Structure 1
Amino acid sequence: MSQQQLKNIIKLKCTNQPANATEMSNDYVIVDSGANLANKKFQRDLDQVLDRARSAGVKKLVVLSSSEKSAHEALRLTRLYPGTLFCAAGLHPLETQLWADDTKAAFNEILPKPECIGVGVCGLDLTKLEVASLKQQLSVLEAQLQLARDLSKPVVLFEKSGSTELLHLLRAYPNLSSVVIHGFAGSAEQAKKYLDKGYYLSMTGSLWKAKEEMHQLLRDPASQEQLLLASDAPFLFPNAKSKLKRSQEDNREPVFSEISESLVRRYCSFQRNEPCSLALTCELLAGTLDQNPNDVALKTTYNALKAFKLQF
Protein backbone atom coordinates (compact mmCIF):
# COMPACT_ATOMS: atom_id res chain seq x y z
CA MET A 1 0.00 0.00 0.00
CA SER A 2 1.34 3.42 -0.97
CA GLN A 3 1.15 6.56 1.15
CA GLN A 4 -1.43 7.98 -1.24
CA GLN A 5 -3.61 4.87 -0.86
CA LEU A 6 -3.30 5.18 2.91
CA LYS A 7 -4.27 8.84 2.66
CA ASN A 8 -7.41 7.93 0.69
CA ILE A 9 -8.38 5.20 3.17
CA ILE A 10 -7.86 7.58 6.10
CA LYS A 11 -10.00 10.22 4.42
CA LEU A 12 -12.86 7.75 3.94
CA LYS A 13 -12.70 6.32 7.46
CA CYS A 14 -12.28 9.60 9.28
CA THR A 15 -15.04 11.55 7.50
CA ASN A 16 -18.13 12.31 9.58
CA GLN A 17 -16.88 10.54 12.68
CA PRO A 18 -18.56 11.67 15.91
CA ALA A 19 -16.75 14.13 18.11
CA ASN A 20 -14.78 12.73 21.02
CA ALA A 21 -15.52 13.33 24.67
CA THR A 22 -13.18 16.29 24.83
CA GLU A 23 -14.24 19.59 23.33
CA MET A 24 -11.36 19.94 20.90
CA SER A 25 -9.69 17.71 18.35
CA ASN A 26 -7.40 17.90 15.34
CA ASP A 27 -7.29 16.00 12.08
CA TYR A 28 -3.96 14.22 12.53
CA VAL A 29 -3.78 10.47 11.97
CA ILE A 30 -1.13 9.09 14.32
CA VAL A 31 -0.04 5.64 15.46
CA ASP A 32 1.47 5.53 18.95
CA SER A 33 4.16 2.90 18.46
CA GLY A 34 4.83 2.51 22.17
CA ALA A 35 2.71 3.34 25.22
CA ASN A 36 2.82 1.66 28.63
CA LEU A 37 -0.93 1.59 29.20
CA ALA A 38 -0.69 -1.48 31.44
CA ASN A 39 1.02 0.79 33.97
CA LYS A 40 -0.99 1.23 37.16
CA LYS A 41 -1.16 5.00 36.55
CA PHE A 42 -3.84 4.32 33.93
CA GLN A 43 -5.97 1.89 35.95
CA ARG A 44 -8.72 4.34 36.89
CA ASP A 45 -9.36 6.40 33.77
CA LEU A 46 -8.15 4.58 30.66
CA ASP A 47 -11.40 5.35 28.83
CA GLN A 48 -10.81 9.08 29.25
CA VAL A 49 -7.11 8.72 28.38
CA LEU A 50 -8.03 7.05 25.09
CA ASP A 51 -10.70 9.67 24.38
CA ARG A 52 -8.06 12.36 24.73
CA ALA A 53 -5.69 10.37 22.53
CA ARG A 54 -8.35 10.28 19.81
CA SER A 55 -8.78 14.03 20.18
CA ALA A 56 -5.07 14.38 19.48
CA GLY A 57 -5.41 12.24 16.35
CA VAL A 58 -3.99 9.03 17.82
CA LYS A 59 -5.94 6.25 16.09
CA LYS A 60 -3.99 3.14 17.08
CA LEU A 61 -1.64 2.38 19.96
CA VAL A 62 0.87 -0.37 20.65
CA VAL A 63 0.79 -1.25 24.35
CA LEU A 64 4.26 -2.29 25.47
CA SER A 65 4.98 -4.63 28.34
CA SER A 66 8.01 -4.98 30.56
CA SER A 67 7.18 -8.20 32.43
CA GLU A 68 5.05 -11.31 32.18
CA LYS A 69 2.39 -9.68 34.35
CA SER A 70 2.18 -6.52 32.25
CA ALA A 71 2.14 -8.63 29.06
CA HIS A 72 -1.00 -10.40 30.25
CA GLU A 73 -2.54 -7.05 31.17
CA ALA A 74 -1.59 -5.53 27.81
CA LEU A 75 -3.27 -8.43 26.01
CA ARG A 76 -6.38 -7.97 28.16
CA LEU A 77 -6.55 -4.29 27.24
CA THR A 78 -6.38 -5.05 23.52
CA ARG A 79 -9.55 -7.09 23.90
CA LEU A 80 -11.32 -4.25 25.66
CA TYR A 81 -10.41 -1.84 22.84
CA PRO A 82 -10.22 -4.01 19.70
CA GLY A 83 -8.89 -2.31 16.61
CA THR A 84 -7.46 0.55 18.67
CA LEU A 85 -5.05 -1.18 21.02
CA PHE A 86 -2.48 -3.78 20.05
CA CYS A 87 0.26 -5.13 22.26
CA ALA A 88 3.82 -6.37 22.43
CA ALA A 89 5.08 -8.89 24.98
CA GLY A 90 8.57 -8.69 26.39
CA LEU A 91 10.82 -8.43 29.41
CA HIS A 92 12.55 -5.09 30.06
CA PRO A 93 16.33 -5.36 30.55
CA LEU A 94 16.04 -4.27 34.18
CA GLU A 95 13.50 -7.03 34.80
CA THR A 96 15.65 -9.82 33.39
CA GLN A 97 16.13 -11.38 36.83
CA LEU A 98 12.51 -12.54 36.44
CA TRP A 99 13.27 -14.64 33.36
CA ALA A 100 12.55 -18.35 33.83
CA ASP A 101 11.22 -21.27 31.84
CA ASP A 102 7.64 -20.39 32.75
CA THR A 103 8.24 -16.79 31.61
CA LYS A 104 9.25 -18.02 28.18
CA ALA A 105 6.25 -20.36 28.16
CA ALA A 106 3.93 -17.45 28.98
CA PHE A 107 5.35 -15.35 26.15
CA ASN A 108 5.04 -18.33 23.80
CA GLU A 109 1.35 -18.39 24.70
CA ILE A 110 0.76 -14.65 24.33
CA LEU A 111 2.83 -13.84 21.24
CA PRO A 112 0.88 -15.91 18.68
CA LYS A 113 -2.35 -14.07 19.55
CA PRO A 114 -3.48 -11.80 16.70
CA GLU A 115 -3.69 -8.82 19.05
CA CYS A 116 -0.02 -9.26 19.98
CA ILE A 117 1.97 -7.76 17.14
CA GLY A 118 5.51 -7.74 18.52
CA VAL A 119 8.11 -8.78 21.06
CA GLY A 120 8.99 -6.05 23.52
CA VAL A 121 9.98 -4.01 25.11
CA CYS A 122 13.31 -5.76 25.59
CA GLY A 123 16.89 -4.67 25.13
CA LEU A 124 19.92 -3.45 27.07
CA ASP A 125 20.38 -0.89 29.84
CA LEU A 126 24.03 -0.64 30.82
CA THR A 127 23.51 2.22 33.26
CA LYS A 128 22.24 -0.06 36.04
CA LEU A 129 24.37 -3.17 35.89
CA GLU A 130 23.95 -3.57 39.65
CA VAL A 131 20.29 -4.39 38.95
CA ALA A 132 20.91 -6.72 36.01
CA SER A 133 24.35 -7.77 34.81
CA LEU A 134 25.36 -7.44 31.17
CA LYS A 135 25.65 -11.22 30.87
CA GLN A 136 22.12 -11.66 32.21
CA GLN A 137 20.68 -8.95 29.98
CA LEU A 138 22.35 -10.35 26.86
CA SER A 139 21.14 -13.87 27.60
CA VAL A 140 17.52 -12.83 28.12
CA LEU A 141 17.56 -10.47 25.15
CA GLU A 142 18.86 -13.24 22.90
CA ALA A 143 16.07 -15.54 24.05
CA GLN A 144 13.53 -12.87 23.09
CA LEU A 145 15.19 -12.22 19.73
CA GLN A 146 14.87 -15.93 19.04
CA LEU A 147 11.16 -15.73 19.82
CA ALA A 148 10.78 -12.78 17.46
CA ARG A 149 12.65 -14.61 14.72
CA ASP A 150 10.78 -17.90 15.15
CA LEU A 151 7.35 -16.23 15.23
CA SER A 152 8.16 -13.63 12.54
CA LYS A 153 7.23 -10.82 14.92
CA PRO A 154 8.68 -7.30 15.02
CA VAL A 155 10.90 -6.62 18.01
CA VAL A 156 10.73 -3.40 20.06
CA LEU A 157 14.06 -2.63 21.68
CA PHE A 158 15.06 -0.29 24.48
CA GLU A 159 18.73 0.66 24.60
CA LYS A 160 20.58 2.84 27.07
CA SER A 161 24.37 3.16 26.82
CA GLY A 162 24.50 -0.19 25.05
CA SER A 163 24.36 0.53 21.33
CA THR A 164 27.66 -1.22 20.56
CA GLU A 165 26.64 -4.40 22.36
CA LEU A 166 23.14 -4.32 20.90
CA LEU A 167 24.33 -3.90 17.32
CA HIS A 168 26.82 -6.73 17.80
CA LEU A 169 24.11 -9.09 19.05
CA LEU A 170 21.69 -8.13 16.28
CA ARG A 171 24.22 -9.21 13.65
CA ALA A 172 23.23 -12.79 14.45
CA TYR A 173 19.59 -11.99 13.61
CA PRO A 174 19.58 -10.45 10.13
CA ASN A 175 16.15 -11.78 9.19
CA LEU A 176 13.97 -10.30 11.92
CA SER A 177 10.58 -9.09 10.70
CA SER A 178 11.48 -5.53 11.74
CA VAL A 179 13.39 -3.81 14.52
CA VAL A 180 12.08 -0.74 16.35
CA ILE A 181 14.46 1.20 18.60
CA HIS A 182 11.95 2.54 21.09
CA GLY A 183 12.34 6.03 22.51
CA PHE A 184 15.73 6.59 20.96
CA ALA A 185 17.68 9.23 22.89
CA GLY A 186 21.26 8.62 21.80
CA SER A 187 23.63 10.53 19.56
CA ALA A 188 23.28 11.20 15.86
CA GLU A 189 26.19 8.82 15.24
CA GLN A 190 24.38 6.01 17.05
CA ALA A 191 21.12 6.81 15.28
CA LYS A 192 22.81 6.59 11.88
CA LYS A 193 24.15 3.13 12.69
CA TYR A 194 20.64 1.94 13.51
CA LEU A 195 19.15 3.59 10.43
CA ASP A 196 21.84 2.12 8.18
CA LYS A 197 20.74 -1.33 9.36
CA GLY A 198 17.17 -0.57 8.32
CA TYR A 199 15.87 -0.27 11.88
CA TYR A 200 13.05 2.08 12.84
CA LEU A 201 13.53 4.85 15.41
CA SER A 202 10.57 5.95 17.50
CA MET A 203 10.56 9.65 18.36
CA THR A 204 9.20 10.61 21.78
CA GLY A 205 8.76 13.71 23.91
CA SER A 206 12.50 13.69 24.57
CA LEU A 207 12.97 15.01 21.02
CA TRP A 208 12.96 18.54 22.47
CA LYS A 209 16.43 17.78 23.91
CA ALA A 210 17.92 16.62 20.59
CA LYS A 211 21.02 18.42 19.34
CA GLU A 212 21.53 19.99 15.92
CA GLU A 213 23.50 16.98 14.64
CA MET A 214 20.44 14.83 15.29
CA HIS A 215 18.18 17.36 13.60
CA GLN A 216 20.37 17.24 10.50
CA LEU A 217 20.20 13.45 10.39
CA LEU A 218 16.41 13.48 10.75
CA ARG A 219 16.11 15.94 7.86
CA ASP A 220 17.65 13.36 5.53
CA PRO A 221 14.73 12.03 3.42
CA ALA A 222 16.13 8.50 3.74
CA SER A 223 15.98 8.72 7.55
CA GLN A 224 12.35 9.78 7.42
CA GLU A 225 11.40 6.41 5.92
CA GLN A 226 12.24 4.86 9.30
CA LEU A 227 10.76 7.30 11.83
CA LEU A 228 7.87 6.46 14.15
CA LEU A 229 6.10 8.36 16.92
CA ALA A 230 5.75 7.00 20.46
CA SER A 231 4.41 8.59 23.62
CA ASP A 232 6.05 6.09 26.02
CA ALA A 233 3.23 7.14 28.36
CA PRO A 234 3.27 7.57 31.33
CA PHE A 235 6.93 8.49 30.78
CA LEU A 236 8.88 10.91 28.54
CA PHE A 237 6.69 13.97 28.96
CA PRO A 238 7.41 16.48 26.16
CA ASN A 239 8.65 19.65 27.83
CA ALA A 240 6.74 22.05 25.58
CA LYS A 241 7.45 25.09 27.77
CA SER A 242 11.19 24.59 27.43
CA LYS A 243 10.99 24.16 23.67
CA LEU A 244 8.64 27.13 23.33
CA LYS A 245 11.06 29.31 25.31
CA ARG A 246 13.95 28.22 23.09
CA SER A 247 11.91 28.98 19.97
CA GLN A 248 11.12 32.47 21.24
CA GLU A 249 14.76 33.11 22.15
CA ASP A 250 15.72 32.12 18.60
CA ASN A 251 13.09 34.58 17.26
CA ARG A 252 11.21 31.73 15.61
CA GLU A 253 7.49 31.14 15.65
CA PRO A 254 6.32 28.38 18.04
CA VAL A 255 5.58 25.15 16.21
CA PHE A 256 2.74 24.02 18.46
CA SER A 257 -0.97 24.28 17.70
CA GLU A 258 -3.37 25.56 20.31
CA ILE A 259 -5.13 22.19 20.50
CA SER A 260 -1.96 20.17 21.03
CA GLU A 261 -0.54 22.57 23.57
CA SER A 262 -3.83 22.64 25.48
CA LEU A 263 -4.03 18.84 25.68
CA VAL A 264 -0.50 18.64 27.05
CA ARG A 265 -0.96 21.53 29.46
CA ARG A 266 -4.23 20.17 30.88
CA TYR A 267 -3.66 16.43 30.94
CA CYS A 268 0.07 15.63 30.83
CA SER A 269 2.92 16.11 33.27
CA PHE A 270 6.26 14.66 34.28
CA GLN A 271 4.29 12.54 36.77
CA ARG A 272 2.01 11.11 34.07
CA ASN A 273 2.42 11.64 30.36
CA GLU A 274 -0.50 10.60 28.13
CA PRO A 275 -0.72 9.46 24.49
CA CYS A 276 -2.54 12.71 23.67
CA SER A 277 0.87 14.41 23.90
CA LEU A 278 1.82 12.78 20.59
CA ALA A 279 0.16 15.56 18.59
CA LEU A 280 2.62 18.00 20.12
CA THR A 281 5.53 15.60 19.56
CA CYS A 282 4.42 15.29 15.93
CA GLU A 283 4.46 19.08 15.61
CA LEU A 284 7.87 19.21 17.26
CA LEU A 285 9.20 16.70 14.73
CA ALA A 286 7.52 18.63 11.91
CA GLY A 287 9.29 21.80 13.07
CA THR A 288 12.60 19.94 13.11
CA LEU A 289 11.99 18.67 9.58
CA ASP A 290 10.46 21.95 8.36
CA GLN A 291 7.41 20.03 7.15
CA ASN A 292 3.64 20.17 7.60
CA PRO A 293 2.57 18.28 10.76
CA ASN A 294 -0.19 16.46 8.86
CA ASP A 295 2.40 15.15 6.41
CA VAL A 296 4.66 14.03 9.27
CA ALA A 297 1.72 12.30 10.97
CA LEU A 298 0.86 10.48 7.75
CA LYS A 299 4.46 9.50 7.07
CA THR A 300 5.10 8.11 10.54
CA THR A 301 1.76 6.30 10.48
CA TYR A 302 2.66 4.72 7.15
CA ASN A 303 6.01 3.65 8.64
CA ALA A 304 4.29 2.19 11.72
CA LEU A 305 1.88 0.16 9.61
CA LYS A 306 4.85 -1.30 7.75
CA ALA A 307 6.90 -1.94 10.88
CA PHE A 308 4.11 -3.73 12.74
CA LYS A 309 2.26 -5.23 9.74
CA LEU A 310 -0.89 -3.35 10.68
CA GLN A 311 -3.87 -2.38 8.56
CA PHE A 312 -5.51 1.00 9.06
Structure 2
Amino acid sequence: MLIDIGANLTHDSFDHDRDAVLQRARDAGVRRMIVTGASRAHSPQAANLARQHPGELFATAGVHPHHATEYTAECDAEMRALQALPEVVAVGECGLDYFRDFSPRPAQRRAFEMQLQIGADTGKPLFLHQRDAHDDFMAAMRNFDGRLGPAVVHCFTGTRKELFDYLDQDWYVGITGWLCDERRGLHLRELVKHIPANRLMIETDAPYLLPRTVRPQPSHRRNEPMYLAHIVEELARDRGEPVETVAAATSAAATAFFRLPG
Protein backbone atom coordinates (compact mmCIF):
# COMPACT_ATOMS: atom_id res chain seq x y z
CA MET A 1 0.00 0.00 0.00
CA LEU A 2 1.31 3.42 -1.01
CA ILE A 3 0.13 6.79 0.30
CA ASP A 4 0.42 9.90 -1.85
CA ILE A 5 0.68 12.75 0.66
CA GLY A 6 0.28 15.52 -1.92
CA ALA A 7 -1.99 15.37 -4.97
CA ASN A 8 -3.76 18.42 -6.37
CA LEU A 9 -6.78 16.40 -7.47
CA THR A 10 -9.08 19.43 -7.62
CA HIS A 11 -6.99 20.81 -10.51
CA ASP A 12 -9.12 21.36 -13.60
CA SER A 13 -6.92 19.02 -15.66
CA PHE A 14 -8.61 16.17 -13.77
CA ASP A 15 -12.17 17.35 -14.33
CA HIS A 16 -12.79 15.11 -17.34
CA ASP A 17 -11.39 11.84 -15.94
CA ARG A 18 -10.98 12.12 -12.16
CA ASP A 19 -12.65 8.75 -11.48
CA ALA A 20 -10.34 7.04 -13.96
CA VAL A 21 -7.33 8.73 -12.35
CA LEU A 22 -8.36 7.34 -8.97
CA GLN A 23 -8.83 3.87 -10.40
CA ARG A 24 -5.40 3.91 -12.05
CA ALA A 25 -3.93 4.92 -8.71
CA ARG A 26 -5.63 2.00 -6.98
CA ASP A 27 -4.38 -0.37 -9.67
CA ALA A 28 -0.83 0.89 -9.05
CA GLY A 29 -1.08 0.23 -5.31
CA VAL A 30 -1.84 3.79 -4.21
CA ARG A 31 -4.61 3.20 -1.70
CA ARG A 32 -4.72 6.53 0.10
CA MET A 33 -4.21 10.08 -1.13
CA ILE A 34 -4.08 13.44 0.61
CA VAL A 35 -5.77 16.03 -1.61
CA THR A 36 -3.92 19.33 -1.34
CA GLY A 37 -5.94 22.41 -0.48
CA ALA A 38 -3.82 25.36 -1.57
CA SER A 39 -6.16 28.30 -2.05
CA ARG A 40 -9.34 29.84 -0.73
CA ALA A 41 -11.26 28.27 -3.63
CA HIS A 42 -9.60 24.86 -3.77
CA SER A 43 -9.41 24.03 -0.05
CA PRO A 44 -13.19 23.51 0.29
CA GLN A 45 -13.16 21.61 -3.00
CA ALA A 46 -10.44 19.32 -1.62
CA ALA A 47 -12.52 18.67 1.50
CA ASN A 48 -15.59 17.93 -0.59
CA LEU A 49 -13.69 15.49 -2.80
CA ALA A 50 -12.33 13.70 0.27
CA ARG A 51 -15.84 13.50 1.71
CA GLN A 52 -16.96 11.66 -1.43
CA HIS A 53 -14.26 8.98 -0.93
CA PRO A 54 -14.17 8.25 2.81
CA GLY A 55 -11.20 6.25 4.00
CA GLU A 56 -9.39 6.68 0.67
CA LEU A 57 -9.07 10.42 0.17
CA PHE A 58 -8.27 12.99 2.84
CA ALA A 59 -7.65 16.71 2.48
CA THR A 60 -5.54 19.59 3.65
CA ALA A 61 -6.88 23.14 3.95
CA GLY A 62 -4.71 26.17 3.50
CA VAL A 63 -3.47 28.96 1.26
CA HIS A 64 -0.25 28.59 -0.74
CA PRO A 65 2.11 31.59 -0.68
CA HIS A 66 1.30 32.24 -4.34
CA HIS A 67 -2.21 33.18 -3.14
CA ALA A 68 -1.19 35.01 0.03
CA THR A 69 -2.91 38.24 -0.94
CA GLU A 70 -6.28 36.49 -0.63
CA TYR A 71 -5.61 35.64 3.03
CA THR A 72 -8.02 38.04 4.72
CA ALA A 73 -9.70 37.75 8.11
CA GLU A 74 -12.66 36.17 6.31
CA CYS A 75 -10.36 33.68 4.62
CA ASP A 76 -8.82 32.82 8.00
CA ALA A 77 -12.29 32.09 9.39
CA GLU A 78 -13.01 29.84 6.40
CA MET A 79 -9.77 27.90 6.90
CA ARG A 80 -10.55 27.45 10.58
CA ALA A 81 -14.00 26.11 9.75
CA LEU A 82 -12.49 23.62 7.30
CA GLN A 83 -10.08 22.37 9.96
CA ALA A 84 -13.07 21.27 12.02
CA LEU A 85 -14.09 18.75 9.34
CA PRO A 86 -13.04 15.13 9.97
CA GLU A 87 -11.79 14.66 6.41
CA VAL A 88 -9.36 17.58 6.73
CA VAL A 89 -6.16 16.21 8.24
CA ALA A 90 -3.64 19.06 8.02
CA VAL A 91 -3.15 22.83 7.89
CA GLY A 92 -1.71 23.98 4.57
CA GLU A 93 -0.38 24.05 1.98
CA CYS A 94 1.22 27.12 3.51
CA GLY A 95 4.67 28.64 3.67
CA LEU A 96 6.94 30.97 1.71
CA ASP A 97 7.96 31.09 -1.95
CA TYR A 98 10.54 33.72 -2.90
CA PHE A 99 11.35 31.95 -6.18
CA ARG A 100 8.19 33.10 -7.94
CA ASP A 101 7.12 35.98 -5.68
CA PHE A 102 3.59 35.77 -7.05
CA SER A 103 2.50 37.52 -3.83
CA PRO A 104 4.49 40.25 -2.06
CA ARG A 105 6.80 38.86 0.59
CA PRO A 106 5.18 40.73 3.49
CA ALA A 107 1.80 39.26 2.47
CA GLN A 108 3.37 35.81 2.29
CA ARG A 109 4.82 36.10 5.77
CA ARG A 110 1.52 37.35 7.20
CA ALA A 111 -0.51 34.53 5.61
CA PHE A 112 2.05 31.96 6.76
CA GLU A 113 2.02 33.22 10.35
CA MET A 114 -1.78 33.26 10.47
CA GLN A 115 -1.89 29.66 9.31
CA LEU A 116 0.79 28.65 11.79
CA GLN A 117 -1.49 30.13 14.44
CA ILE A 118 -4.27 27.82 13.21
CA GLY A 119 -1.83 24.95 13.62
CA ALA A 120 -1.00 26.08 17.14
CA ASP A 121 -4.67 26.46 18.04
CA THR A 122 -5.79 23.11 16.60
CA GLY A 123 -2.74 20.88 17.05
CA LYS A 124 -3.23 19.69 13.46
CA PRO A 125 -0.21 18.60 11.38
CA LEU A 126 1.31 21.21 9.07
CA PHE A 127 1.76 20.75 5.31
CA LEU A 128 4.49 23.23 4.45
CA HIS A 129 5.98 24.83 1.33
CA GLN A 130 9.38 26.53 1.15
CA ARG A 131 11.29 27.68 -1.90
CA ASP A 132 14.20 30.12 -1.86
CA ALA A 133 12.99 31.47 1.50
CA HIS A 134 14.74 29.22 4.00
CA ASP A 135 15.91 31.81 6.52
CA ASP A 136 12.55 33.58 6.79
CA PHE A 137 10.78 30.21 6.82
CA MET A 138 12.85 28.97 9.75
CA ALA A 139 12.40 32.28 11.59
CA ALA A 140 8.62 32.04 11.28
CA MET A 141 8.64 28.47 12.55
CA ARG A 142 10.88 29.41 15.48
CA ASN A 143 8.31 31.99 16.54
CA PHE A 144 5.98 29.05 17.26
CA ASP A 145 8.51 26.79 19.00
CA GLY A 146 6.78 24.30 21.27
CA ARG A 147 3.29 25.23 20.07
CA LEU A 148 2.95 23.28 16.83
CA GLY A 149 2.07 19.72 15.95
CA PRO A 150 4.10 17.64 13.50
CA ALA A 151 5.25 19.30 10.28
CA VAL A 152 6.19 18.07 6.82
CA VAL A 153 8.15 20.14 4.33
CA HIS A 154 6.47 18.89 1.22
CA CYS A 155 8.12 18.56 -2.21
CA PHE A 156 11.63 18.92 -0.81
CA THR A 157 14.06 20.18 -3.47
CA GLY A 158 16.55 22.05 -1.29
CA THR A 159 20.11 21.88 -0.11
CA ARG A 160 21.87 19.60 2.35
CA LYS A 161 21.82 22.39 4.95
CA GLU A 162 18.09 22.89 4.54
CA LEU A 163 17.44 19.17 4.86
CA PHE A 164 19.40 18.86 8.08
CA ASP A 165 17.82 22.00 9.51
CA TYR A 166 14.44 20.29 9.01
CA LEU A 167 15.59 16.97 10.40
CA ASP A 168 17.10 18.73 13.44
CA GLN A 169 13.53 19.90 14.20
CA ASP A 170 12.16 16.35 13.79
CA TRP A 171 10.11 17.49 10.82
CA TYR A 172 9.06 15.12 8.06
CA VAL A 173 10.22 15.42 4.45
CA GLY A 174 8.14 14.79 1.33
CA ILE A 175 9.90 13.53 -1.80
CA THR A 176 8.38 13.93 -5.27
CA GLY A 177 9.32 13.12 -8.85
CA TRP A 178 11.79 16.00 -8.68
CA LEU A 179 14.12 13.19 -7.62
CA CYS A 180 13.85 11.85 -11.18
CA ASP A 181 14.87 15.10 -12.89
CA GLU A 182 18.43 14.81 -14.20
CA ARG A 183 18.55 18.58 -14.75
CA ARG A 184 17.55 19.75 -11.26
CA GLY A 185 17.22 16.78 -8.93
CA LEU A 186 20.53 14.91 -9.06
CA HIS A 187 21.60 16.24 -5.65
CA LEU A 188 18.53 14.60 -4.11
CA ARG A 189 19.81 11.15 -5.10
CA GLU A 190 22.43 11.48 -2.37
CA LEU A 191 20.44 13.50 0.15
CA VAL A 192 17.53 11.05 0.43
CA LYS A 193 19.89 8.51 2.01
CA HIS A 194 20.06 10.72 5.09
CA ILE A 195 16.32 10.97 5.79
CA PRO A 196 15.31 8.62 8.64
CA ALA A 197 12.70 6.10 7.54
CA ASN A 198 10.21 7.39 10.11
CA ARG A 199 10.50 10.94 8.71
CA LEU A 200 10.24 10.08 5.01
CA MET A 201 7.06 10.42 2.93
CA ILE A 202 6.34 10.33 -0.80
CA GLU A 203 4.08 12.35 -3.06
CA THR A 204 3.40 13.11 -6.69
CA ASP A 205 2.27 16.77 -6.43
CA ALA A 206 0.05 15.82 -9.38
CA PRO A 207 -0.64 17.20 -11.93
CA TYR A 208 2.79 18.81 -11.61
CA LEU A 209 6.26 17.21 -11.64
CA LEU A 210 5.72 14.18 -13.86
CA PRO A 211 8.82 12.02 -13.21
CA ARG A 212 11.12 12.45 -16.20
CA THR A 213 12.28 8.83 -15.94
CA VAL A 214 8.81 7.37 -16.56
CA ARG A 215 8.78 5.34 -19.78
CA PRO A 216 6.95 5.81 -21.98
CA GLN A 217 6.35 9.47 -21.24
CA PRO A 218 2.64 10.34 -21.61
CA SER A 219 2.04 12.82 -24.40
CA HIS A 220 -0.09 15.08 -22.18
CA ARG A 221 2.73 15.48 -19.61
CA ARG A 222 0.21 15.40 -16.76
CA ASN A 223 1.37 13.75 -13.56
CA GLU A 224 -1.09 11.63 -11.60
CA PRO A 225 -1.03 9.51 -8.43
CA MET A 226 -0.39 6.22 -10.22
CA TYR A 227 3.19 7.39 -10.84
CA LEU A 228 3.86 7.27 -7.10
CA ALA A 229 4.85 3.64 -7.69
CA HIS A 230 7.62 4.85 -10.01
CA ILE A 231 8.84 7.41 -7.48
CA VAL A 232 9.11 4.84 -4.72
CA GLU A 233 11.14 2.56 -6.99
CA GLU A 234 13.60 5.37 -7.75
CA LEU A 235 13.75 6.36 -4.08
CA ALA A 236 14.43 2.78 -2.98
CA ARG A 237 17.25 2.47 -5.50
CA ASP A 238 18.88 5.67 -4.24
CA ARG A 239 18.57 4.59 -0.61
CA GLY A 240 19.89 1.09 -1.35
CA GLU A 241 16.78 -0.52 0.12
CA PRO A 242 14.13 -2.91 -1.20
CA VAL A 243 11.09 -1.22 -2.71
CA GLU A 244 8.86 -3.04 -0.23
CA THR A 245 10.83 -1.60 2.68
CA VAL A 246 10.53 1.98 1.46
CA ALA A 247 6.86 1.54 0.57
CA ALA A 248 6.05 0.20 4.02
CA ALA A 249 8.08 2.84 5.84
CA THR A 250 6.63 5.80 3.94
CA SER A 251 3.09 4.52 4.37
CA ALA A 252 3.64 4.01 8.09
CA ALA A 253 5.08 7.51 8.41
CA ALA A 254 2.15 9.05 6.53
CA THR A 255 -0.42 7.10 8.55
CA ALA A 256 1.14 8.31 11.80
CA PHE A 257 1.68 11.89 10.64
CA PHE A 258 -1.83 12.51 9.32
CA ARG A 259 -3.42 10.33 12.02
CA LEU A 260 -5.18 8.23 9.42
CA PRO A 261 -7.49 5.45 10.54
CA GLY A 262 -6.17 1.91 10.51
Per the normalisation by structure 2, the TM-score is 0.94
Matched residues in 2 for 1:97 and 1:45: separation? 32
- Give the superposition deviation at 1:173: 1.7
Matched residues in 2 for 1:287 and 1:205: separation? 14
Any conservation in 2 of the 1:97–1:132 contact (CA below 8 Å)?
Answer: yes
AA of the residue aligned to 2:69: Q
Q: Report the counterpart of residue 142 of structure 1 in structure 2.
A: 113
AA of the residue aligned to 1:223: P
Q: Report the counterpart of residue 219 of structure 1 in structure 2.
A: 193
AA of the residue aligned to 1:211: L
Any conservation in 2 of the 1:65–1:71 contact (CA below 8 Å)?
Answer: yes
Task: Please point out which of 12, 26, 46 is paired with 1:74.
Answer: 46
Gaps of 5+ in 1: 1-28, 242-260
Q: Report the counterpart of residue 63 of structure 2 in structure 1.
A: 91
Residues paired across the two proteins, number? 258
- Give the superposition deviation at 1:223: 2.5
Indicate yes or no: 2:205 matched with 1:232. Answer: yes
Indicate yes or no: 2:253 matched with 1:311. Answer: no
AA of the residue aligned to 2:186: K
AA of the residue aligned to 2:193: R
Q: Report the counterpart of residue 293 of structure 1 in structure 2.
A: 243
Matched residues in 1 for 2:161 and 2:174: separation? 16
- Give the superposition deviation at 1:216: 3.7
Q: Report the counterpart of residue 132 of structure 1 in structure 2.
A: 103
Task: Please point out which of 36, 44, 61 is paired with 1:64.
Answer: 36
Q: Could you report, residue by residue, the CA deviation over 1:170-228 in whole angstroms, capped at 9, with x for unpaired residues?
A: 0122231111111011112211111111111101000123335x4444223x6232110
Per the normalisation by structure 1, the TM-score is 0.79
Matches within 5 A, 1:153-172: 153-172=124-143
Percent identity between the aligned chains?
32
Any conservation in 1 of the 2:97–2:129 contact (CA below 8 Å)?
Answer: yes
- Give the superposition deviation at 1:154: 0.7
Any conservation in 2 of the 1:65–1:90 contact (CA below 8 Å)?
Answer: yes
- Give the superposition deviation at 1:274: 0.3
Any conservation in 2 of the 1:192–1:217 contact (CA below 8 Å)?
Answer: no
Matched residues in 1 for 2:219 and 2:49: separation? 23
Matched residues in 2 for 1:33 and 1:51: separation? 17
Q: Could you report, residue by residue, the CA deviation over 1:60-96 in whole angstroms, capped at 9, with x for unpaired residues?
A: 1100111121011111101111110000000010101
Q: Could you report, residue by residue, the CA deviation over 1:9-42 in whole angstroms, capped at 9, with x for unpaired residues?
A: xxxxxxxxxxxxxxxxxxxx11111100011111
Task: Please point out which of 270, 277, 284 is paired with 2:227.
Answer: 277
Any conservation in 2 of the 1:30–1:297 contact (CA below 8 Å)?
Answer: yes
- Give the superposition deviation at 1:269: 5.9
AA of the residue aligned to 1:176: L
Matched residues in 2 for 1:110 and 1:74: separation? 10
Task: Please point out which of 4, 7, 12 is paired with 1:40.
Answer: 12
